[in-house]
Amino acid sequence: MQAGFVSTDRIRSLFTEAMSQMYRAEVPQYGTLLELVAEVNAEVLATNADLRERLTRAGELERIDVERHGAIRLGTAEELHTIRRLFAVMGMQSVGYYDLSVAGVPVHSTCFRPIDDQSLSINPFRVFTSLLRLELIEDEGLRAEAAEILAKRRIYTDRAIELIERHERAGGLTEAEAKEFVAEALETFRWHGEATVSAETYKRLHDAHRLIADVVSFKGPHINHLTPRTLDIDAVQQRMPQRGITPKAVIEGPPRRECDILLRQTSFKALEESILFAGADGATEGTHTARFGEIEQRGVALTAKGRALYDRLLASVRGEVQVGAAGAKARDYDAELSERFQELPDDWSDLRKQELAFFHYSATPAGIAAAVTGQLPSNAEELIAKGYLTFDPIVYEDFLPVSAAGIFQSNLGTDQQQNYATRSNRAAFEEALGAEVTDELDLYAERQARSLETAIDLLGLAAL
């Protein structure tokens, strides 16, 4: 980094804080959710000394209450292309491709996030970013109309673009520029209570799909939720109603386990908010439902083998128990989920030995001391058995398409289920993005391999 420039991690942290403040002011119920999460986290830390120590060791304690992700939905290829450049200023890259059309949501998505260990530990904030697939609107007239409306809007401020260009040319931003950039970038994510379309157009878009109305009818891609991290998602889910918050029927993802895997998420239902529609004879009042709050709890990243097992078990539960719109069968679903997931080992050693999950290896002080004698076994399993090499789970930093579809749907109304015949179109997404989407599994595999190399090096052994 050149002298005078701040790190992209610093800019991402400034942005996270600014977004959190903005969203709390815009959606008061989100502030209530944050209070509840803080209360539960404090209780867990007070009663679980092991976890407290693990988090302290990992330097995570002071960041527990910082938001972990947010989401936006974009309307055009050009908007996606620019958002890639905007997120790059904050050290976030596109990782993973998610096709949600299979679940009846007319978008495909990626996650913009930091990728290296250090940046992730400084601030792992990521944004689930979706691009509307207008080609999935059947009505040709409506499709053309939506495209025309979207083509007219400008979701980035001129100054934001200038600062993105400055970052690209100069290789960074100064502290003052970074602050200005964050304020300008925030404008893109802000809520606008005035629709750019008439009530009649809104209704037609809404009838095609609620999500289409949400993307097309406004000046910009308002952030639709922010998600703090909880240390006990079941407790928060259970207590939401006491705070006047209505949670979705079930927690998405894997069941509660000793060894957390992947990602568990739940959200509160989107709020009905007053908006003004444009009209030739003045604005008319109406409502729109889009913004909600969510919480997440992350566990270990699974290998392709582990993920295939996860997908199979989840699909078998979902094939068996369909949760109804009003949450009917939610208990059956939870019970079935716990039952079927017994097939997936709930022990770190087993998960590692069976190559179901990714781990970060490190040399232990005993190992480094023993290395001086030069008497170390040259095999990873023996080093572990002797206590010279240790391993910790690598946290899953990405999203899960089935869970994401569940979050979308609970906030769009379950009556909206439609199944689009069209298949995923990663190539079109990457073309719009102007870059290839990084494969998340490659990133975890690299981090695991690098940690092992470093540990082996420290133990004074040649590559195993």
Tokens of 116: 């290296």
Helix or strand run (H / E) with residue 419: none
- Residues that bind ligand OOG (rule: CB under 6 A) add up to a total of 13
| Cβ nearer to ligand OOG, comparing 8 with 130 | 130
- The span of 66-74, 181-189, 331-339, 429-437 binding Ni ion (CB under 5 A) equals 66-74
Cβ atoms of 152 and 146 within 8 Å: the answer is no
Beta carbon of residue 182, minimum distance to ligand OOG (angstroms, whole number): 22
Contacts of 5 (CB under 8 A, 6+ apart): 170, 171, 172, 173, 174
- The span of 34-42, 293-301, 309-317, 323-331 binding Ni ion (CB under 5 A) equals 293-301
User: Counting contacts by CB under 6 A, is residue 404 touching ligand OOG?
Assistant: yes
Query: Which entry of Ni ion, ligand OOG, none binds 266, CB below 5 to 8 A by partner kind?
Result: none
User: Counting contacts by CB under 6 A, is residue 29 touching ligand OOG?
Assistant: no
As a whole number of angstroms, the distance between CA 297 and CA 234 comes to 10
User: Counting contacts by CB under 6 A, is residue 128 touching ligand OOG?
Assistant: yes
Beta carbon of residue 229, minimum distance to Ni ion (angstroms, whole number): 12
Q: How far is CA 417 from the centre of its chain?
A: 22
What does DSSP say about strands 69-74 and 126-132: parallel, antiparallel, or unpaired?
Answer: parallel
Q: How far is CA 175 from the centre of its chain?
A: 27
- The span of 20-28, 30-38, 165-173, 287-295 binding Ni ion (CB under 5 A) equals 287-295
As a whole number of angstroms, the distance between CA 97 and CA 130 comes to 10
* Nearest residue to the partner ligand OOG, using Cβ: 404
Near ligand OOG in 50-69, by CB under 6 A: none
Beta-bridge partner residues of 98: 109
User: Counting contacts by CB under 6 A, is residue 403 touching ligand OOG?
Assistant: yes
Beta carbon of residue 214, minimum distance to ligand OOG (angstroms, whole number): 9
- Is the dihedral angle over the CA atoms 392, 306, 265, 217 positive or is it negative? positive
- The span of 23-31, 234-242, 324-332, 403-411 binding ligand OOG (CB under 6 A) equals 403-411
Near ligand OOG in 225-264, by CB under 6 A: none
User: Counting contacts by CB under 6 A, is residue 73 touching ligand OOG?
Assistant: yes
The secondary structure of 378-398, three-state, reads: CCHHHHHHCCCEEEEECECCC
Helix or strand run (H / E) with residue 65: none
Phi, psi of 400 (to 5 degrees): -125, 125
- Residues that bind Ni ion (rule: CB under 5 A) add up to a total of 2
Tokens of 221: 């891609």
User: Counting contacts by CB under 6 A, is residue 80 touching ligand OOG?
Assistant: no
Beta carbon of residue 162, minimum distance to ligand OOG (angstroms, whole number): 28
Near ligand OOG in 405-434, by CB under 6 A: 407-408, 411
Tokens of 151: 């083509």
Q: Which of 41, 82, 265, 266 binds ligand OOG (CB under 6 A)?
A: 265
Burial, 295: exposed, middle or buried (Cβ in 10 Å; 0-12, 13-18, 19+)?
A: buried
Specify the 3-state DSSP secondary structure of 61: helix
User: Counting contacts by CB under 6 A, is residue 71 touching ligand OOG?
Assistant: yes
| Cβ nearer to Ni ion, comparing 71 with 351 | 71
Query: Which entry of Ni ion, ligand OOG, none binds 15, CB below 5 to 8 A by partner kind?
Result: none
| Cβ nearer to ligand OOG, comparing 111 with 309 | 111
Q: Which of 99, 184, 232, 294 binds Ni ion (CB under 5 A)?
A: 294
Near ligand OOG in 371-400, by CB under 6 A: 399
User: Counting contacts by CB under 6 A, is residue 130 touching ligand OOG?
Assistant: yes
Cα–Cα–Cα angle for 222, 115, 71, nearest 5°?
15
| Cβ nearer to ligand OOG, comparing 191 with 399 | 399
Helix or strand run (H / E) with residue 445: helix 440-458
| Cβ nearer to ligand OOG, comparing 110 with 196 | 110
Beta carbon of residue 263, minimum distance to ligand OOG (angstroms, whole number): 8
Specify the 3-state DSSP secondary structure of 271: coil
- The span of 33-41, 294-302, 380-388, 440-448 binding Ni ion (CB under 5 A) equals 294-302
Give whole-number Cα distances, 2 to 5, 152, 167, 172, 174, in Å.
6, 38, 12, 8, 10
User: Counting contacts by CB under 6 A, is residue 266 touching ligand OOG?
Assistant: no
Residue that the structure tokens 């190559």 belong to: 355
As a whole number of angstroms, the distance between CA 414 and CA 132 comes to 19
Beta carbon of residue 453, minimum distance to ligand OOG (angstroms, whole number): 33
Beta carbon of residue 344, minimum distance to ligand OOG (angstroms, whole number): 21
N-to-C CA span, the chain: 34
User: Counting contacts by CB under 6 A, is residue 224 touching ligand OOG?
Assistant: yes
Residues that bind ligand OOG (CB under 6 A): 71, 73, 128, 130, 224, 265, 294, 399, 403-404, 407-408, 411
